[in-house]
Structure 1
Amino acid sequence: MPASLVISAPASGVGKTTLTLALARAWRKRGLNVQCFKSGPDYIDPAFHAAATGRASVNVDSWAMDRGTIAHLVSRGGNADVVLAEGSMGLFDGVAARGVSGTGATADIAEMLGWPVVLVIDPSGQAQTAAAIAAGLRDYRAGVRLGGVVLNRVASPRHEDLVRRALNEAGIKVFGALPRHAEISLPKRHLGLVQAEEQAEIGKLIDEAARFVAEHVDLDAVLHSAGQWSPQAAANGLNVTPPGQRIALARDAAFSFVYPHMLEAWRAAGAEIVPFSPLADEAPDASANVCWLPGGYPELHAGKIAANARFRSGLRAFAETRPVHGECGGYMVLGAGLTDADGISHEMAGLLGLETSFAKRRMHLGYRLAELAAPMPGHQPGARLRGHEFHYSTILAQPDTPLAVVHDATGAAIAETGSRRGHATGTFFHLIAEDR
C-alpha cells in the first residue's frame, strides 16, 4: 500500500509547491515510485509534479467533483510507493457554500481519503506563535490528522530553536527546518508560477530543491508519518463527454491551461487530440470535427497572434462549418480585439464580438456553476457545468448572445456569461466537471 500524505500550509506563498517537488524528487532518487496530485483548480502545478516524478499528475476538487470521480482519479496512485497531494491556499480555505462533495478546501481531500497532513510553516516575523498556528490547524477539524511540520525560511539557528521548542511542547513533530535558499525559488507571473514547460532548467532546479530539502529534513520521519492508503474501487469514472471525435487542440505557451484529467477523459472516451500551435502560425487540422482553444497567456503574445494570418484565417475557415470553443484566454482570442498591458489593441479572430483589456486589470477569481442556454461542444442546453475562473482581463464589450447563466459559489449571478455566435462559443471559466 502506498504511503500517502497531503502537503499543506496556513496560507498561500509559504512553499508548498517547492516542498512537494523536493520530496517527490528526493524519494524518486531513492528508487521510490511517487505519484502526485493537486487539490483544487490549478492547471500549472501538475506539470511541475510530472517533471519531478515522471508520472502525470491530476487535480482533485471537492467543490466540482463527487467522491466517485475523486476516487477514480486517485486510484492511479495505487501502484506507487508514495502518494503526495499538494494543497491550495491554506489547509481549510474553500468557499462558503458547499459544492458536490465539499467546499474545495484541501482539508476535504485529506479527510475524505484519510491522508495525514504535513504542514509547511513560515515563521518569518514570529517564533512561538508559529506553534499556536500549527496547533490551531491540528485541532480545527476532527477528521483531519496532522502528521507534522516542516519549517521554511527560518532566520537563524536561534530562531529555529525557539520555534522547535514551542512545537515540541505542543506535541507537534518537526521534520526539519529550511533556511532561506534563493537558488530554489520558482519564478512567478500574474497567474501563478511560470509554466514548467517554459523553464529549460526546471530539472536542475528540482534537483537542487531535493538536495537542499534532504539535507535539512528527515525524509524517513516524514515517510513514517504517512498513512498506509489502500485505493478503493471507484463506482464510476469521469463524467466527461469529449467535445468531438477528433479534436484540434491549441497547445503552446499562449494556450496551455487545460486540466490533465479532461484530456485523459477525452482520450478514454475514444477521442483523438490533434495539437496545433497558434504561436507558430498553425491552423487547426482540417480533418478535425471540433476546435478547442484553452486558456493561457494570450495577453503576453497578443501582437504575435494578431500577426499570424494563417492561424486566424484557418480558424475562421474552420468555424464556418464546425464548432470552435475557447476557454478564458482562448475565449479572448476568439473575440474581436485584445488590448495588452501597454494599452495597444490587437485584432483577434473575430469569431465573437468580445473585446477585452489587460491594460485595465481586475482580478476575477472563483468557482463557477453554469447552466447552458445553448449547446457547446460536448454539452447540451440545460447542462450544469462546474468550473473555475482566474484572470485579470476586463471585458470592454460582450455583445453576442450569452452562452449560459453563470453563478459563483455563493449563488450570485456574474456578468461573465460566455458568448455564442454561429459555430463559435466561449467561456471565461475553465471546465472541471459536469453535474451528474
Structure 2
Amino acid sequence: MPAGLVISAPASGVGKTTLTLALARAWRNRGLNVQCFKSGPDYIDPAFHAAATGRASVNVDSWAMDRGTIAHLVGRGTDADVVLAEGSMGLFDGVAARGVSGTGATADIAEMLGWPVLLVIDPSRQAQTAAAIAAGLRDYRAGVRLAGVVLNRVASPRHEDVVRRALNDAGIAVFGALPRHAEISLPKRHLGLVQAEEQAEIGKLIDEAARFVAEHVDLDAVLRSAASWSPQPAASGMNVTPPGQHIALARDAAFSFIYPHMLEAWRAAGAEISTFSPLADEAPDASADVCWLPGGYPELHAGTIAASARFRSGLRAFADTRPVHGECGGYMVLGTALTDADGIRHEMTGLLGLETSFAKRRMHLGYRLAALAAPMPGHQVGARLRGHEFHYSTIIAQPDTPLAVVHDATGAVIAETGSRRGLATGTFFHLIAEDR
C-alpha cells in the first residue's frame, strides 16, 4: 500500500522543490518506487519530478479540477511505494473565490487525499518564531494534519539547536536540518526554474541533493510519518476532448509549456501526437488535422523563429485548411510581431493580428475561466474552460475577433480575451480542464 505525503511550506522560495526531488531520488536509490505530483498550476516542476523518479508527474489542482479528475490523476500512484505531492506557494495560499473543488491551495489536496504535510521551514533571521509559524500552520485548518518539519538553510549548529528546542516544545517533530548548500540550488529565470530538459547536469544535481538530504534528514522517520493510502477508484476520468485525431505539436525549448495530463488525456482518447521543432525550422506534419503551439520561451528565441522560413511558411499553409491553436507563447508566435527584451521587433507568423512586447515587461499571473465566444480546436462555442496564465508580455495590439470572455478567479473580466482569425485561434492561458 503506498504511503502519501505532501511537501509544503509557509511561502514560496523556501526549498519545497529541492526537498521533494531529494527525497524522491534518495528513496528511489533505496529501491522504492516513488510517484510525484504537483499541487497547483506550475507546469515546470513535473518535469523535475520525472527526472528524479523515472515516472511521469502531473498537476492536480483544486480550483480547476473536480474531485473525480483529481482521483483519476492521483490513481497513477497505486503501484508506487511512496507518493509525494509538492505544494505551491504557502500551505494555505489559494485564490479568494472557491473554484471547482477548492481555492487551489495545497491544503485542499492534503485534506482531500488525507495525506499529512511535511513542512519545509527556513528559519533565516529568526529562531523560536519558526516554531510559532509551524504551530500556526498545524492548527489553522482542522482537516490538515502536520507530519513534521525539515529545517532549511540553518545558519549554525547553535541556531539549529535553538529552533529544534522550540519546535519540540510545541510538539512538532523535526526530521532534519539542512545547512546552506549552494551546489544544490536550482537555476531560475523570469518564469520560474530553468526547465529540467534544458539542464544537462540535472541528474547530477538531483543526486547531490539526495546525498545531502540523506546526510541531514532522517529518511526513515519521514517515511513512517506518511499516511498509508488506499486509492479509491475514480468515478470517471478526464473530461477532455482532443483537438483533433492527429495533432501536430510544437515541441522544443521555445514551445514546452503544456500540462502533461492534457497530453495523456488526448492520447487516452485515441489521438495521435507528432512533434516538430520550430527552432529547427520544421513545419507541422502535413498529415495532421490540427496544429497546437504550446507556451514556452519564444521571447528568448524570437530571432531564430523569425528566421525559420520553412516553419513559418509551412504553418501558414497548414492554417489555410486546418485549425491551428496557440497557448501563451504559442499565441504570441501566431501573431504579427514580438518585440524582445532588448527592444528588437521580430516578425512572427502573422496568422493573427496580435503584437506583443517584452521591452516593458509586466507580469500577468492567475487562474482564468473562459467562456468561448467562438470555437477552438476540441471545444465548441459556450464551452467553459479553466486554465492558468503566467507571462510578462505586454499587448501592443489584439485586433482580431475575441475568442472568449475571460474572467480571473475573482470574477473580474480581463483584457486577454484570446483571438480568432480564420482557422487560427490563440489564448494567453494554458488549458487545464473543461467544466463538466
Q: Same fold (TM over 0.5)?
A: yes
Work out the CA distance in 2 between the residues paired with 1:358 and 1:303: 14
Q: Could you list the per-position Cα deviations for residues 372-428 of structure 1 after superposition, in whole angstroms to 9, with x for gaps in the alignment?
A: 001000000000000000000000000000000000000000000000000000000
Q: Once the 2 structures are TM-superposed, how far is the Cα of residue 296 of structure 1 from its aligned partner?
A: 0.1
Q: Once the 2 structures are TM-superposed, how far is the Cα of residue 93 of structure 1 from its aligned partner?
A: 0.3
Q: Once the 2 structures are TM-superposed, how far is the Cα of residue 337 of structure 1 from its aligned partner?
A: 0.3
Q: Once the 2 structures are TM-superposed, how far is the Cα of residue 3 of structure 1 from its aligned partner?
A: 0.7
Work out the CA distance in 1 between the residues paired with 2:105 and 2:434: 19
Partner of 2:280: 280
SS of 1:243's partner is coil
Work out the CA distance in 1 between the residues paired with 2:135 and 2:289: 55
Q: Could you list the per-position Cα deviations for residues 144-171 of structure 1 after superposition, in whole angstroms to 9, with x for gaps in the alignment?
A: 0000000000000010001000000000
Work out the CA distance in 1 between the residues paired with 2:191 and 2:141: 31
Q: Could you list the per-position Cα deviations for residues 68-112 of structure 1 after superposition, in whole angstroms to 9, with x for gaps in the alignment?
A: 000000000010000000000000000000000000000000000
Work out the CA distance in 2 between the residues paired with 1:310 and 1:191: 29
Q: Once the 2 structures are TM-superposed, how far is the Cα of residue 282 of structure 1 from its aligned partner?
A: 0.2
Work out the CA distance in 1 between the residues paired with 2:43 and 2:316: 28
Q: Could you list the per-position Cα deviations for residues 119-174 of structure 1 after superposition, in whole angstroms to 9, with x for gaps in the alignment?
A: 00000000000000000000000000000000000000010001000000000000
Work out the CA distance in 2 between the residues paired with 1:284 and 1:360: 32
Work out the CA distance in 1 between the residues paired with 2:188 and 2:314: 33
Q: Once the 2 structures are TM-superposed, how far is the Cα of residue 365 of structure 1 from its aligned partner?
A: 0.3
The aligned runs of 1:395-406 (5 Å cut-off) are: 395-406=395-406
The aligned runs of 1:386-401 (5 Å cut-off) are: 386-401=386-401
Work out the CA distance in 2 between the residues paired with 1:270 and 1:3: 32
Work out the CA distance in 1 between the residues paired with 2:11 and 2:317: 47
Q: Once the 2 structures are TM-superposed, how far is the Cα of residue 44 of structure 1 from its aligned partner?
A: 0.5
SS of 2:62's partner is coil
Q: Could you list the per-position Cα deviations for residues 270-290 of structure 1 after superposition, in whole angstroms to 9, with x for gaps in the alignment?
A: 000000000000000000000
SS of 2:382's partner is coil
Q: Could you list the per-position Cα deviations for residues 174-195 of structure 1 after superposition, in whole angstroms to 9, with x for gaps in the alignment?
A: 0000000000000000000000
Work out the CA distance in 2 between the residues paired with 1:175 and 1:358: 44
Work out the CA distance in 2 between the residues paired with 1:316 and 1:389: 26
Q: Once the 2 structures are TM-superposed, how far is the Cα of residue 228 of structure 1 from its aligned partner?
A: 0.3
Task: Specify every segment of 5 or more residues in structure 1 that has no aligned partner in the other structure, as ranges.
Answer: none
Work out the CA distance in 1 between the residues paired with 2:286 and 2:77: 38
Work out the CA distance in 2 between the residues paired with 1:23 and 1:391: 31
Using the size of structure 2 for normalisation, the TM-score is 1.00
Task: Specify every segment of 5 or more residues in structure 2 that has no aligned partner in the other structure, as ranges.
Answer: none
Work out the CA distance in 2 between the residues paired with 1:339 and 1:127: 47
Work out the CA distance in 2 between the residues paired with 1:153 and 1:119: 14
The aligned runs of 1:132-281 (5 Å cut-off) are: 132-281=132-281
Partner of 2:342: 342
The aligned runs of 1:275-314 (5 Å cut-off) are: 275-314=275-314
Q: Once the 2 structures are TM-superposed, how far is the Cα of residue 240 of structure 1 from its aligned partner?
A: 0.5
Partner of 2:325: 325
Work out the CA distance in 1 between the residues paired with 2:155 and 2:102: 37
Q: Could you list the per-position Cα deviations for residues 287-324 of structure 1 after superposition, in whole angstroms to 9, with x for gaps in the alignment?
A: 00000000000000000000000000000000000000
Partner of 1:384: 384
Structure 1 segments of 4+ aligned residues over 4 angstroms from their partners: none
Q: Once the 2 structures are TM-superposed, how far is the Cα of residue 11 of structure 1 from its aligned partner?
A: 0.3
Work out the CA distance in 2 between the residues paired with 1:289 and 1:44: 28
Work out the CA distance in 1 between the residues paired with 2:223 and 2:197: 29
User: What percentage of residue pairs aligned between the two structures are identical?
Assistant: 92
Q: Could you list the per-position Cα deviations for residues 42-75 of structure 1 after superposition, in whole angstroms to 9, with x for gaps in the alignment?
A: 1100000000000000000000000000000000
Work out the CA distance in 1 between the residues paired with 2:294 and 2:57: 18
SS of 2:78's partner is helix
Q: Once the 2 structures are TM-superposed, how far is the Cα of residue 220 of structure 1 from its aligned partner?
A: 0.4
Work out the CA distance in 2 between the residues paired with 1:147 and 1:195: 30
Work out the CA distance in 2 between the residues paired with 1:89 and 1:149: 16
Partner of 1:109: 109
Partner of 1:40: 40
SS of 2:295's partner is coil
Work out the CA distance in 1 between the residues paired with 2:128 and 2:424: 57
SS of 1:63's partner is coil
Work out the CA distance in 1 between the residues paired with 2:236 and 2:312: 40
Q: Once the 2 structures are TM-superposed, how far is the Cα of residue 367 of structure 1 from its aligned partner?
A: 0.2
Work out the CA distance in 2 between the residues paired with 1:115 and 1:360: 43
Work out the CA distance in 2 between the residues paired with 1:216 and 1:154: 12
Work out the CA distance in 1 between the residues paired with 2:242 and 2:358: 31
SS of 2:338's partner is strand
Partner of 1:96: 96
Work out the CA distance in 2 between the residues paired with 1:395 and 1:122: 38
Using the size of structure 1 for normalisation, the TM-score is 1.00
Q: Once the 2 structures are TM-superposed, how far is the Cα of residue 360 of structure 1 from its aligned partner?
A: 1.2
Work out the CA distance in 1 between the residues paired with 2:273 and 2:346: 29
SS of 2:283's partner is coil
Q: Could you list the per-position Cα deviations for residues 249-286 of structure 1 after superposition, in whole angstroms to 9, with x for gaps in the alignment?
A: 00000000000000000000000000000000000000
Work out the CA distance in 2 between the residues paired with 1:67 and 1:61: 9
Q: Could you list the per-position Cα deviations for residues 8-42 of structure 1 after superposition, in whole angstroms to 9, with x for gaps in the alignment?
A: 00000000000000000000000000000000001
SS of 2:291's partner is strand
RMSD of aligned alpha carbons: 0.3
